[in-house]
């Protein structure tokens, strides 16, 4: 499966690309077709996209860890 264009050009992970799009969607109120468009909106609004991406990536990692704990305690 191909990486999104933004991820191919840099070290941005798929989760970070999704986080960038999600943050821009919240600020813009519309669904965007590309991560590049999302990036431009966030930069125009003065948001640091990597910080947003890291926060959301951390949250998804915590959720995955929680799920692992739940499955290990099953009989």
pLDDT digits (tens, 9 = 90+) for 14-72: 777 777 777 777 777 776 667 677 777 767 666 666 666 666 656 555 555 555 555 55
CA distance 10 to 3: 11
Specify the higher pLDDT residue, 8 or 23. 23
DSSP state letters, 18-69: HHHHHHHHHHHSS--S-HHHHHHHHHHTT--HHHHHHHHHHHHHHHHHHHHH
| pLDDT on residue 28 | 72
Predicted TM-score of the model (pTM) = 0.37
Structurally, how many domains does the chain consist of? 1
| Domain limits for position 38 | 5-72
Specify the higher pLDDT residue, 11 or 43. 43
């Amino acid at each position: 499966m191909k990486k999104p264009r933004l991820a191919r050009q840099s070290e941005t992970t798929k989760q970070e690309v999704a986080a960038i799009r999600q943050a821009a969607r919240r600020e813009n109120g519309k669904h965007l077709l590309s991560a590049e468009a999302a990036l431009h909106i966030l930069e125009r609004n003065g948001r640091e996209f990597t910080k947003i991406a890291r926060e959301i990536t951390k949250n998804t990692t915590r959720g995955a860890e929680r799920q692992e704990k739940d499955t290990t305690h099953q009989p």
